[in-house]
Structure 1
Amino acid sequence: MEQSTAASPWLLLLCLAVAATGGALQARAQPDVNGFISIDCGLAGKTTSYVDDTTKLLYTSDTDFIGNVGSTHNISAQYMVRPTHLSRRYHSVRSFPDGVRNCYTLRSLVPGGKYLLRASFMYGDYDGLGSLPIFDLHVGVNYWQTVNISEPDLEVTAEAVVFVPDEFVHVCLLNTGAGTPFISDLELRPLKKKFYPQANLTKGLVLEHRLNLAPPDTSIVRYPVDPHDRVWLPKSDAKMWSSISTTETVQSDGDVFEVPSMVMQTAVTPLNAAMNLEIIWSPNPQPQNQSLGYLIIMHFSELQLLPSNAERQFYISINDMQLPEPVSPHYLGTGFVSNGNARYRDNKYNISMYATANSTLPPVISAVEFFSVISATNIATDSQDVSAIMAIKANYEVQKNWMGDPCVPKTMVWERLTCSYTSDNSPRIISINLSSSGLNGDISSSFTNFKAVQYLDLSNNNLTGSIPGSLSQLTSLTILDLSGNHLNGSISPELLKRTQDGSLNLRHGNNPDICTDGNSCQPTKTKNKLAIYGVVLIAVIVVLVLVAVALFFFLRQRNPESMNNSVKSHKEMKNDGHRTEKDGYGNSPLGLETRQFTYIELERITNNFRRVLGKGGFGNVYEGSLEDGTQVAVKIRSKSSNQGDREFLTEVQILTLIHHKNLVSMIGYCKDGEHMALVYEFMSEGTLEEHISGKGNNAVCLPWRQRLRIAVESAQGLEYLHKGCNPPLVHRDVKATNILLNAKLEAKIADFGLSKAFHHNDDTHVSTNRIVGTPGYVDPDYQTTWRATSKSDVYSFGIVLLVLVTGKPPILRTPHTISIIEWVQQRLAQGNIEGVVDVRIHGDHDINSMWKAAVIALKCTTEALAERPTMTDVVAQLQECLNLEEELADGGSDSGIYNGTNSDDINWTDDAYSTNKSTNSSQRAALEKEHNFGRVPTMDTGPAVR
C-alpha cells in the first residue's frame, strides 16, 4: 500500500510530462501567443526547438510545416566561423533537389488578415558543390521574388506584406533550372489591418529596404522593440549629413505604421542648413520584372522643441514632381508621406526635400521604406477544396508530392486530381483518383467537403468501416468507386436512392461484407427482436388510426362546414402544387407581398428544369413559362452553393421592395424545405459578359453606341440603389455577368444576394465580416478596410465600363498578369486611344465619346474614395458620351482628334497631381511621364542619402 502511494506522484508526473510533450508537439505547428510562426528550416529532429539569442523568440523545426520532403544539411564549418556573430538560424538548411515546386503550409491564421512573411537564405556550401543557385519564391499561387545567391556567405532575405484570405498560406520554392532551391528560415508575423493599406486582396508588397536613419550605433531594430518584428537596418554617414536625436519617447499618434520610438528618436538633416536633403535610389529589377510599381514611405518627427520664431517646413519632390502639401513634422509625434498608389515604374528615384520660403530650419527624415508592388490576382483553388484535400493528405499520409495549391497553376495540378476552371470563380476539384494508393482506415468525412467533385475513385485500397451516407449529399458526384476494399455494413438508403434514380454510379464489388439489403446485415437475434418491435409498432399505429377516425367524425358532427373547407383547401393545394397559405395579416410565410412557388410548381413551369440559361455562384438558372405564357427565369440554389439562407432572403426582400426599369424584377420565390429559388423576369439576351466575351449562346458583338446605352442604363440602376432606395443599398457585386439584357438589349442589374443597406449619406459605410465580390471588380479600399460604401459600387462599375471599352476581362494574363486599369492607363498615357478600343468595333465610334468614357472609367477606379464620382455624376457624364455618339449617327463629323475634357473628368495621375484645365492627348502623355512614380529595381547597397 505504501509502495502504491509512493508511486502515485511519479505516475502523475509521468502523465503530466507526456501531456506536456504532446501539447508542445501540437503547439509547434501553431502560431505563438503573439501570432508569430518562427521556423528554423533543416533543424535536426522534429521536436527540436531553441530560443533565439537576440529576439528571445522560440524557433522550431520545419517538419510539421513541410513533412519529410527535401533533405536537411548543415552549412560548411568554414562559414560558421566568421568575424561577426552568425545567427543559429543560418547553421542548417533544407534543400529540395526533387520536384519543381515544394511548399511550406502555415496554418491557423486569421482569414482576411494581413501578414508579414520573411524567408532567409545562406548557402554556406552546405552540399560541398560550390554551386550557387537561383530560384523563385511564391506566396500561394502568386510570384513573390527571385532568390539569387551570389556569394556562399551572403545572407539573403525576402520579405513581403500580404493579405491572406484563408486560414492558411503556402510559401513555395520553385526550381527554375538554375540550381537546387533551399531555405534557412521562415517567419510569419501578423500585422494590423491598417498597416500598409496598399497591400490587399489583389496586391502585395515586397520589401526592398527599410532604413533607420542616423541611429546611435549599428544595431538592428526588430522584436521586441518593434512588436511586429519589422527589421529596421541602420544607415549612418557623418560625411553625408548631420544627425539630430532625442531621448524622449516619440509617440506613434495612431498612424498607419506605428514606427517604434527607438527608430523615430534619430533623424538626418543636411550638413549645410541651406542645402536640400536628397535620397537617390537606383536599384536593379528582379529577373522576371513582374512588379506593378514602387512604393516609397518616408517617416518624420520633430525632435527639437522649437522656439516661437522658428519653423521647420519643407516640400518633397520625387523625380522633379513636387508633392502638393508641405511637411511640418509634429514635435515628438510621427507622420509619413508616400507616393500614393505606386502604379508606375522608373529606373531611378531622386527624392529631394527642400525648405519652404517661410521655413527657418532645414528638412529632416527619420526612416524610409521602399517596396515593390506585386500582383496577387492569380485565383487560387476554392479554399474549402484546399482544406479538404490537405486533410485527406494528412489523414492517409499520402506520399505523393502534393505541394502548394492543388489546381494552380494548371501545369502543376496535383497528381491524380482533375480541376475545373472558370474566369470568374476559383478552380474546383472535380475528380479524385486515389485507386491503389495504400489508403488505410475509415472513409474520411473530409470527402464530403468536395462539393464540386464528379468522380471519386478509392478502389483497391485497405479501407474499412461502413460507407458514409453523407456521400449522397455530393450532388455533383456521378461515379463513386469503392471496389476492392474491406468495407462492411449496409449501403445507406440515400445512396441507394441515388443509384436507383441513375444520378450515381456506385461501384462496391470485392467488399464481401457489404450488403444492399438492410435486413440481411442484421444478426438472427437482432432480426427476431426487430420482428417483435415491428408487431408492437403496428399495433400502436392501428390504435392511433382508430382514435383519429373517431375524433374526425366527432368534429365533423360538431362543425361540418369547417371540416369541409379544410379538406377542400388541402385538396386544392395538392392538385395544383401552389402553396397559398397566409398568416393572420394575409402575408406569405416570409412576410412578403409576392407569390410563393412550391418546388413542384417550379418543376412544372421549367418543364422539369429542361433548359439551362446560365450558372452562377447561387446555382443554375432555368428557362420557364407561367400559366399565362409569361416567360420567366428560375434561379435554383444548388447544394454546393456558398450562398446560404441569408443571401437568399436578402435578395428576395430587396427584389420585393425595389422597382426600377434598370433593375431585374422578381415575380416570386420558392422556400420549400431545402429547396430555394427565385423566379424573375426573363432576359432573353443573357449577360453583358457573354456579349463582350463572345461565349454565350446569344452573344453578338455590340457596337459602341449600344455599349454606351447599356452603360447608361446600368448606371441608372445603380444610381437608384444609392439614391432612390430608403435605406440606400450597396450592391457589392457589380460585374458584367450581373448585367442582363432583354430582347431590346436594354440593361438591368441583377443578383442582389450580397447587397447591404446603409442609413445615411454617401460617406457612411457597411462593415462586413468577410470580403465578397469577384476578383478584378472588388474595390481595393473595401478589401483593406472591410467597409463597403456606394463608392465601392462606383469602382466596380468603372471596371465594367473599361470592359465595355476594351472588350477585355478585368484581369489580363498575357504575357504577365495585369489589371485592366493599368493596361488602359499605359496606353492612354501615350495618347493611344485606338490601342485601347475593342478591335471588333471597327472604328464605328466617335473618338471623343470613347475618350470621355475611358476617362470616366479611370476616375471611377481611383483608389481614393473622395476622388471617385457618385453614380449620379457618372450617369450625367455617360449621357454626354451617348449624345456625342448619337450626333455622329445623325450625320455629324468625326475628326478623329481628341478635343479634351472638362476639369471634372479625370485626375490622370497619383494623388500628388491633378489638373484643372483641358489637355490634349500629347499633353496628357507628357504629364503622365512627368509624374511617373514607377518601379525601381533594388541595389544591394541601398539608397544614398545626401
Structure 2
Amino acid sequence: MAAWSWLLLLCFTVATAGVLQVRAQPDSNGFISIDCGLPGKTGFVDDKSKLSFVPDDGFTDGGACRNISAEYITPGLGKRYHTLRSFPDGVRNCYTLRSLVSGLKYLLRASFLYGNYDGLNKLPVFDLHVGVNYWTMVNITGPDDAVIVEAIVVVPEDFVQVCLVNTGAGTPFISSLDLRPLKNTLYPQANATQGLVLLGRLNFGPTDYTDIIRYPDDPHDRIWFPWVDSTNWNKISTAKKVQNLDNDMYETPTAVMQTAITPRNASTNIEFSWGPVPLPNDPTPGYIAIFHFSELQLLPGNAVREFYINLNGKPWFLTAFKPEYLYSDATFNRNPYPGYSRYNISINATVNSMLPPLINAVEVFSVISTATIGTDLQDVSAIMAIKEKYQVKKNWMGDPCVPKMLAWDKLTCSYAISSPARITSINLSSSGLSGEISSSFGNLEALQNLDLSNNNLAGPIPDALSQLPSLTVLDLTGNQLSGSIPSGLLKRIQDGSLNLRYANNPNLCANGNSCQPAKKKSKVAIYIVVPVVLVVVIISVATLLCCLLRRTKQASMNNSLKPQNETAINVPSNSGYRHSSSLRLENRRFTYNELEKITNNFQRVLGRGGFGYVYDGFLEDGTQVAVKLRSESSSQGPKEFLAEAQILTRIHHKNLVSMIGYCKDGEYMALVYEYMSEGTLQEHIAGKNNNGRYLTWRERLRIALESAQGLEYLHNGCNPPLIHRDVKATNILLNTRLEAKIADFGLSKTFNYNNDTHVSTNTLVGTPGYVDPEYQATMQPTTKSDVYSFGVVLLELVTGKPAILCDPQPISIIQWARQRLARGNMEGVVDAHMHSDHDVNGVWKVADIALKCTMQASAQRPTMTEVVAQLQECLELEDRHSAMNDTNNNFYAGNNIDTNSSYNMYNIDQSTDVIQSSTTFEIEHNFGRVPTMAIGPAAR
C-alpha cells in the first residue's frame, strides 16, 4: 500500500509559492482555497493554475497548526500537505466560509494527510459535517495516504460551515479545504434537500498516470483522475474541441472528452464495478452514476456505434445510446439505485452496431440528506455576535442548537417539526464577561431565561431586553451595572411577567429619582457660577436686541413681497398624517412673482416628473436652488404637493434632499429645494453625466450606503415612520461631492409601528420594475416595499443596467441577475465600465444583499437597518482592497458641475498533488486484483 501511495504521490507537482495576503472571501472566480495549518497571514499563488491558496486564519478559531513529520515530506508532495490543523479540544470544530450566495450550488472538497504529525502513529477516524448535516466519515488508513472527500450541496445562507466531529476514535485534523461555485443547472440531483458525495470521477483514455485534469481545463475545478491500461483497451482521441450540448447539466471539460476507450477485442464489453462505502446510518448506500460519452471518430456514412449500459446484468436504460460526433452527452440516473452489495457495470454493443462500445468518463456519487435545517437565522446572528463580543470559547462552534447532541454548552433550545430551532435559555453566569451588555441579546426573540450573573458587566441595562416577548427570568446579579432600570423592564416586573434579579450592582438604581447623587453646597461653586451666569445673560440680551433690529429691517425691505394671505396650508384628512389637521410651514414662503425672479422667468429646465417641471434658480444671496413647479396637467395633485411639503418640513437628514421653501400662491404651487449639481444616480449609471465617465465601484458603494441611510432614517428616525413608495435611481440625487440624497416624497405615506404593519391604500403607486410584488398584490405597502425597490437600485449599481431590460424580450433586472448569479457568472453580471477597480468579493456581497432585498416574500427581506450594516461592511472591505492595491478611485475630484445635466431626479491549484484513496472502485484482471487506489474499467 505504501509503495502504491508513493507512486501516486510522485505524479503530483509542487506549486511554486508566490505571496498572497490571506483573505477570508472568495477570489475572482468565487473560489476559496484554504491551506489548513499554514502559519501566519500570507498564502501563495500556484504558478500553473494561478489559484490563490490562503492560510486558515480567519476561517476557524479552534485547533492548532501542525507540520507533518519530515520523513513524509517528499519531492512530489504538494505544499498544501506539509501542514495541517489539529483539533484535540472540543467535540465539534468548524470552518466558516463566508461571502457566498444563498441558494447557490457549491462544490466542497476537503483533504487529509496524517503524516504522523503528532508522533503517535495513531490513525484517526472522525466525521465530517456540512452545516448541520452529516457529510461523510474520514477514515485515515495510513500515514502517507491522502484522503480526499468531495460534496456538491446547495447553500441555504450566505455562508457555509464545514465541521470536524470527534467520534472518540482519534483527534480530527484537516490538510486543506476548497470551495467552488457551480451553476444551479449543473448536477440536478443536488438540491435544497439532497447533496451528492463523490465516490469517484474517472477520465478514460490518458496514457500517463500524472495526466490529472482540473482547473483551468475544468473551469469548475473538478478533479478528473486518469485510468491507464493499454493492455486491455484501445485509446481513441481527438485534438478537436468537444462541445457541450445546449443546457448541458454537467459541462464536462473538452480536455476530458477528447479521450475515450474501447475494448481491444471489438467483440467484448467494457466492464467495471465498485463496492458501497458503508455509512453509520446506511451500511449499503445507493448511488447515482453519470456516464459521459462523445464520438471522437468521424464515422463513414453507413457505420453505426451504439451500445447498452447494464447494471448487475440488467439494463440501466431500456434504450441504446448513440454518441454524437464531437458533442459531449451523458446518461445518468436522477435517484440513487437501491443498495447493492456490489455495482457491476457492463457496456456492450447492440446487434446493429458496427463498432465496439466506448466511454469517455464517469462520475459516481452517493446521496446525503441536507433537509435538516439549522437554528433560526436571527438567533444565529445574535448569538454569533455575542460570542464575538465576549470571546466566548466553551464549545461554541457550528450551529448553536443543531444537531441536538452537539448543541452549545449553557444554551437551551426549543425544537419544532416544521420550523427552525430557537434559543430559549442562555446561562453565562460566572463566565468572565466584561464590557456592556450586548444589544444582540435583544434579537433573541424566543429567549425565556437569561443569566448573566457574577460577571464584570458595566454600563446601563439595554432597553432592548424589555422588548423580548418571551423573557421571564433575567438575572443580572453581581455585576457593575449603572443607571436606571429601563421603564419597560419595570413595567414587566409590575405586571408579573418578568423576574428580574439585580442585586450587588452598586451603581444600579430601581428608579430614576434615586439615581442622582446628592450634591453638597459649595461656596466655591457659587463664586464660579454666578459670574458665568451674569456673562451669559448679558451676551444673550445683546444677541436678542441685534436679532430684533435685523428682523425689523428685513420686514420693512420685504413687506411688498410677503404674501398677506394663506398663513397655513390645510392638509386633507385623508392625506395619511394623523398627528395634525393643518401644517404651518417653517421654511421660507415664496410668491409666484418671486419664483419668476429666482428662475429668470423659468428659463432653464432641469428636468420633469409627474408633478411638473423643475427649474434652475438663484436666491438673492446667490444660492443655487431647484424649483419644482406644479403644472396644470400634473398627474400629482394638491394632495401630493401637501404631502411632500409636510414631509420635508419635518424631516432632516444628510441623505435626504432639503426643502428651502415653498409657494402656494393662488393656483400656483411649487417647492424649492437645495440644488444637487450632479443630477440623478440613473444618469451616472448610464454614463450620461461627467462626459460619459462612469462611477467607480467605491463611489457606487458609498452612494448605495448613503441612500440606504436616508431610507433607514425614514423608516426608523421619523415619527411617525415614513414609507417612500417610489425608490428608484432617478429619485437618488448627487451633489458636487457625489453625496447621495433621497428625493421626491410626494407619494410617501406614514404608518404607526405601534398599531400598523402596513398602510392601506386604494391606488397602486410606484415605477414599473421597482414595485414590490407583494404590495402590488395586496395594495398594502410596508417598509419592506422600499427595501424591495432599493434592492433593484443595488442591482442597477452592480450591473449598470436599467430596472427592465430587453433581452430581447422585456425582463426584470432581478430575474436577469438571478439567472446569471445562479450559474456563478459574476463576470457576466458586473458592469464592464468599472473595469477591474473593484474587489469581486465586495461585488458578490452587494449582489447577494440585492437579491435578499428583492425576495418575493417581504418577510424574507432584511430591514433597511440590516442593509445599512451590511453595506458598511462592504465599503470597509473595498477600502481594505483599495489600501492593499494603493489605488485612488476618486476620479470625481473637485467641483465638477455638468450644466447640461437633465436632472431627472424629480422624476485550485494545477499541481497534481491529490490522492483519492477513499474511492473504492475495483478492477478485476486475469493477473489479479489491482489495489484499491487504482480506479478504472477492465476490458474483457
For Structure 1 versus Structure 2, the TM-score category normalised by the shorter chain is 0.5 to 0.7
Q: Percent identity?
A: 57
Partner residue in 1 for 2:222? 230
Displacement of 1:205 in angstroms is: 0.9
Residue correspondence of structure 1 range 477-516 to structure 2 within 5 A: 477-515=471-509, 516=511
Distance 2:383 2:43 in 1: 29
Q: What does the per-residue CA deviation read over 1:806-829, in whole Å, with 9 as the maximum and x for residues that have no partner?
A: xxxxxxxxxxxxxxxxxxxxxxxx
Displacement of 1:104 in angstroms is: 1.7
Partner residue in 2 for 1:386? 380
Distance 1:338 1:434 in 2: 52
Cα 1:444/1:673, change in 2 over 3 Å: closer
1:265 has 2:265 as partner: no
Cα 1:482/1:195, change in 2 over 3 Å: same
Partner residue in 2 for 1:336? 330
Q: What does the per-residue CA deviation read over 1:174-211, in whole Å, with 9 as the maximum and x for residues that have no partner?
A: 22222222111111111111111111222111111001
- Picking from 148, 151, 160, the partner of 2:142 is 151
1:432 has 2:426 as partner: yes
Distance 1:728 1:277 in 2: 59
Distance 1:447 1:146 in 2: 36
Residue correspondence of structure 1 range 583-662 to structure 2 within 5 A: none
Displacement of 1:369 in angstroms is: 0.3
Partner residue in 2 for 1:36? 31
Displacement of 1:343 in angstroms is: 4.4
Cα 1:303/1:453, change in 2 over 3 Å: same
Cα 1:675/1:370, change in 2 over 3 Å: farther
AA aligned to 2:46 is: D
Q: What does the per-residue CA deviation read over 1:227-262, in whole Å, with 9 as the maximum and x for residues that have no partner?
A: 211111011211221111111111222411111111
Contact 1:292–1:374 (Cα < 8 Å) also in 2: no
Cα 1:137/1:221, change in 2 over 3 Å: same
Displacement of 1:295 in angstroms is: 0.6
Partner residue in 2 for 1:345? 339
Displacement of 1:165 in angstroms is: 0.8
Distance 1:156 1:107 in 2: 25
Contact 1:489–1:521 (Cα < 8 Å) also in 2: no
Displacement of 1:89 in angstroms is: 1.0
Distance 1:478 1:392 in 2: 20
Distance 1:163 1:34 in 2: 18
Cα 1:521/1:211, change in 2 over 3 Å: farther
Partner residue in 2 for 1:846? none
Contact 1:299–1:367 (Cα < 8 Å) also in 2: yes
Partner residue in 2 for 1:176? 167
Cα 1:235/1:943, change in 2 over 3 Å: closer
Contact 2:35–2:177 (Cα < 8 Å) also in 1: yes
SS in 2 for 1:334: strand
Displacement of 1:141 in angstroms is: 2.1
Q: What does the per-residue CA deviation read over 1:675-717, in whole Å, with 9 as the maximum and x for residues that have no partner?
A: 5799xxxxxxxxxxxxxxxxxxxxxxxxxxxxxxxxxxxxxxx
Contact 2:309–2:345 (Cα < 8 Å) also in 1: yes
In structure 1, list runs of 5 or more residues that go unmatched.
Answer: 1-22, 533-565, 567-644, 647-670, 679-726, 730-765, 771-935
Residue correspondence of structure 1 range 367-386 to structure 2 within 5 A: 367-386=361-380
Distance 1:477 1:768 in 2: 44
Displacement of 1:214 in angstroms is: 0.7
Displacement of 1:322 in angstroms is: 4.3
Distance 1:498 1:171 in 2: 42
1:252 has 2:244 as partner: yes
Displacement of 1:508 in angstroms is: 3.6
SS in 2 for 1:66: coil
Displacement of 1:140 in angstroms is: 2.0
Contact 2:125–2:139 (Cα < 8 Å) also in 1: yes
SS in 1 for 2:292: strand
SS in 2 for 1:63: coil
Contact 2:308–2:349 (Cα < 8 Å) also in 1: yes
Cα 1:511/1:53, change in 2 over 3 Å: same
Partner residue in 2 for 1:888? none
Distance 2:470 2:921 in 1: 50
Displacement of 1:520 in angstroms is: 4.1
Contact 1:281–1:944 (Cα < 8 Å) also in 2: no
Distance 2:414 2:518 in 1: 43
Displacement of 1:417 in angstroms is: 0.6
Displacement of 1:354 in angstroms is: 2.5
Partner residue in 2 for 1:197? 188
AA aligned to 2:326 is: L
- Picking from 439, 442, 453, the partner of 2:436 is 442
Contact 2:284–2:340 (Cα < 8 Å) also in 1: no
1:318 has 2:302 as partner: no
Displacement of 1:149 in angstroms is: 1.2
Contact 1:281–1:943 (Cα < 8 Å) also in 2: no
Displacement of 1:24 in angstroms is: 8.1
Contact 1:249–1:332 (Cα < 8 Å) also in 2: yes
- Picking from 113, 119, 130, the partner of 2:104 is 113
Distance 2:28 2:189 in 1: 27
The one of the two structures with greater contact order (alpha-carbon pairs below 8 A, sep at least 6) is 2
- Picking from 96, 110, 121, the partner of 2:87 is 96
- Picking from 191, 212, 231, the partner of 1:239 is 231
AA aligned to 1:144 is: W
Distance 1:34 1:487 in 2: 49
SS in 1 for 2:441: helix
Displacement of 1:404 in angstroms is: 1.6
SS in 2 for 1:198: coil
Distance 2:273 2:286 in 1: 17
SS in 2 for 1:49: strand
SS in 1 for 2:243: coil
Partner residue in 2 for 1:279? 272
1:208 has 2:199 as partner: yes
1:452 has 2:443 as partner: no
In structure 2, list runs of 5 or more residues that go unmatched.
Answer: 1-18, 520-524, 538-572, 574-721, 724-750, 759-775, 779-813, 819-918, 923-931
Distance 1:382 1:433 in 2: 19
Q: What does the per-residue CA deviation read over 1:820-847, in whole Å, with 9 as the maximum and x for residues that have no partner?
A: xxxxxxxxxxxxxxxxxxxxxxxxxxxx
Distance 2:326 2:777 in 1: 44
Contact 2:273–2:921 (Cα < 8 Å) also in 1: no
AA aligned to 1:180 is: T
Provide TM-score, normalisation by structure 2: 0.54
Distance 1:335 1:58 in 2: 32
SS in 2 for 1:446: helix
Residue correspondences, number:
569
Distance 2:334 2:518 in 1: 73
Provide TM-score, normalisation by structure 1: 0.53
SS in 1 for 2:226: strand
Distance 2:489 2:229 in 1: 76
Cα 1:489/1:94, change in 2 over 3 Å: same
Contact 2:277–2:285 (Cα < 8 Å) also in 1: no
Cα 1:769/1:414, change in 2 over 3 Å: farther
Cα 1:427/1:768, change in 2 over 3 Å: farther
Displacement of 1:54 in angstroms is: 4.9
Contact 2:214–2:222 (Cα < 8 Å) also in 1: yes
Cα 1:427/1:356, change in 2 over 3 Å: same
Cα 1:92/1:397, change in 2 over 3 Å: same
Cα 1:458/1:488, change in 2 over 3 Å: same
Partner residue in 2 for 1:781? none
Partner residue in 2 for 1:628? none
